[in-house]
Structure 1
């Protein structure tokens, strides 16, 4: 299959001045002097709107005189200014991504446009997209540009050095994460991964149960990123009514639907230049997932009621407590969206898996609680007794840090003294149902199972958990297990050879 040859260029003043003159200008010279004709010419312009049509007609006529059949199109590019590198980069990168995806042979013109435009072509053309570079002048004519070194390799070597420093957890990054307690192995791994991802302009998925601190970590990633000066917009996807998802995410125009009495920015526009935190992304319906995927791929959104999309620059950090891979299997989450988001993945452990973090975490929570409550009439600053701390470490905390915080809050309000004891915490804890949820069983019996072994393993797990929660007190453990007396529990412990 023959690949299409495309010349991609900015429009320069010298190109326009060639109309009606003897000099042809850079673009026309490249087209007419090139040994192999181009199939397409794409020209980007950010000025001279009133001259563009005339130039396109003139250039088409010049090409026709040599019986060349290149299709010529000029596209207006909205830039902050002709020397504004970020907007120049966005336009140039989008063009190159689109053309490269089609498998075209791309040649970049280095003789038209401002120095900022030419420098951007040079870096992208050799550092990322591996294009051909060409230049032309009155004195030297047309020539291919061969660089004395490989920019791509030089750039990557430099980046490896930068990433090596970042991976070593520089103090600048540490300062954004130092408020997160991470002495346990699992939490340390999660924070180290978050630090590595923070300075990169990549999407991230944060996975963890409800209450594990997903938004806290997302904010830390944002603050440690180059986008920290822009907005961090948190969105709970599960709290948006399905009929309003498009409007909430992408905005709407006045009159787009009943009640839309004014234009409204969506969350993407509010986060433009910054970070959009999509919490509980697994709650989005499939139709909304498709539109989110398009926004991430095209880097543009379409407000409800608008006929034209517009560009956005947003880093997306998603979070979920659900198993997205299992949702993909059952067809309720798009696989392509998952892999678009899962460039960086941070797994946050449950609170019960972070035993080494709990003492320091409790100090931080109690300090925060005392600061927030100190203005309340009659409130006394509270501390936890050693036995209370040990009690907290032995609990399961299915609601994780959020449940622990609410328990401490209730205990501090209900107790009159300055020391919180175990009994204060026990009264403040929400009592959950002890009934086993049979729907959670996931046992494949199609190939045969050892039912006695399954029963013994289930008994062993429940007994060990009950003993852990009650600090080895058999009487209390027997009650948790629904047994009438602790002797039955002792018999099971001996039979199953459980270490008390």
Structure 2
């Protein structure tokens, strides 16, 4: 396999499989099909394990830091399994309020609530025969966890405001950057649902653990940029890409390449074209004495700083902070 999230203009050629794991190395269903990069040993081991899961119908939990490409792994599983001709339906659990999430997942009957002018099938029904991908499953409210558990146990769903049951046949694939076992211990995730979902597990390594993939990924992202003269990277840029720790993982690398592509004036992206954090080595500042402040003040400053760095996007900020979107909203409201 070539790389995690490498741009591809055409759908993968039938029969061209990875020599390392035997999988079809393509994640279909996004705006462009994406080839998967695994130059690194860590990624090859991941996809060898994934190859054993692809033909299975059991639930899968994919773990890993934000930005590592967990959904791409889920799409590769779908592309290589018996459900590949059926739908792959994805939803970000953390991006929707609880009331809306319930309607999205399970559907609703006409008149179930204000604005429900007609019956609506939920994502479970849309994914019937295929795969339902629940991203950030750790953020699901407890009340909805109970309804999800019932749907998995019985193989049927009930729309909001409807007494009828609809049979569904879906494979559940979940992703999270949280420690679900810890959430169970804290009483924030149902233990019975945890064991129902955690049949098969895959951990996507952070980019700092797979540096052999960095340049292959960067080349793929650059090839996807339509309006740039750059066709490659100068040596100083390559050195910087390989030396950087990538706390934002693959997503941050893609952003850095976009930055370089936009500023490049020649056929290569140079070090000076990359974001400042890559082109200007940080100098360690002398240590200062800690200023004693109340915890709530420190928390407020940190949360608002993350929100600003996320461009005001509450969903992104909540994921970085490791808390639910609704929890972040409540904190912001209390500080007004």
Q: TM-score, normalised by structure 1?
A: 0.50
What secondary structure is seen at the aligned counterpart in 2 of 1:219? helix
What is the deviation of 1:175? 4.3
In the alignment, the residues of structure 2 paired with residue 169 and residue 382 of structure 1 have an alpha-carbon distance, to the nearest angstrom, of: 28
Alpha-carbon offset, residue 169 of structure 1: 6.4
Show the counterpart of 1:284. 140
Partners of 2:75 and 2:88 within 8 A in 1: yes
Question: Does 1:226 find its partner at 2:79?
Answer: no
Partner residue in 2 for 1:200: 56
Distance 1:482 1:216 in 2: 42
Q: Which residue in the other structure is 1:42 paired with?
A: none
What aligned pairs does 1:31-70 form with structure 2 within 5 A after superposition? none
Q: Whole-Å Cα distance in 1 between the matches of residues 285 and 40 of structure 2?
A: 30
2: distance between equivalents of 1:215 and 1:386?
32
d(CA) in 2 for partners of 1:398, 1:265: 39
Determine the structure 1 residue equivalent to 2:296. Answer: none
Within 5 Å, which residues of 2 pair with 1:70-219?
171=22, 173-176=23-26, 179-219=35-75
- CA distance in 2 between counterparts of 1:242 and 1:386 reads 49
Cα distance in 2 for partners of 1:401, 1:338 equals 28
**Deviation by residue 1:412-471 (Cα, 9 ceiling, x = unmatched):** 1123222111121133x59xxxxxxxxxxxxxxxxxxxxxxxxxxxxxxxxxxxxxx98x
Change (3 A) 1:483 1:211: same
Q: Is the 8 A contact 1:352 1:393 kept in 2?
A: no
In the alignment, does 2:253 pair up with 1:404? yes
Provide the C-alpha distance between the structure 2 equivalents of 1:188 and 1:383, rounded to a whole number of angstroms. 25
Residue 354 of structure 1 corresponds to: 210
User: For the residues of structure 1 that align with 2:260 and 2:26, how far apart are their CA atoms?
Assistant: 31
Say if 2:222 and 2:261, in contact at 8 Å, map to a contact too: no
In structure 2, C-alpha distance between the alignment counterparts of 1:481 and 1:311, rounded to whole Å: 61
1:305 corresponds to which of 161, 168, 175: 161
What residue number does 2:243 align with? Answer: 394
Structure-1 separation of matches of 2:68 and 2:272: 25
Counterpart CA distance in 1 for 2:35 and 2:160 is: 40
Partner of 1:149: none
- Distance in 1, matches of 2:233 and 2:37, equals 18
1:366 aligns with 2:222: yes
- Using the TM superposition, name which of 212-221 and 181-190 deviates more: 181-190
Aligned length: 265
The 3-state SS of whatever aligns with 1:333 is: coil
Q: Give 2:190's aligned residue.
A: 334
Provide the residue aligned with 1:267 in structure 2.
123
Higher RCO structure (Cα 8 Å, ≥6 apart): 2
Bigger fraction of residues in helix: 1
Kindly indicate whether residue 263 of structure 2 is the aligned counterpart of residue 414 of structure 1.
yes
Q: Could you tell me which of 169, 174, 177 is aligned with 1:321?
A: 177
Measure, in 2, the Cα distance between the counterparts of 1:296 and 1:251.
16
Matched, 1:480 2:284: yes
Q: Which moved more, 1:406-415 or 1:244-253?
A: 406-415
Provide the alpha-carbon RMSD of the alignment: 2.3
SS at match of 2:219: helix
Residues 170, 184 of structure 1: alpha-carbon distance in 2 compared, 3 angstrom cutoff: closer
| C-alpha separation in 2, matches of 1:403 and 1:423 | 17
Q: Deviations over 1:135-174 (max 9, x none)?
A: xxxxxxxxxxxxxxxxxxxxxxxxxxxxxxxxx9674x34
Contact 1:169–1:195 (CA<8 Å) still a contact in 2? no
> Which residue of 114, 124, 130 maps to 1:258?
114
Q: Whole-Å Cα distance in 1 between the matches of residues 44 and 25 of structure 2?
A: 15
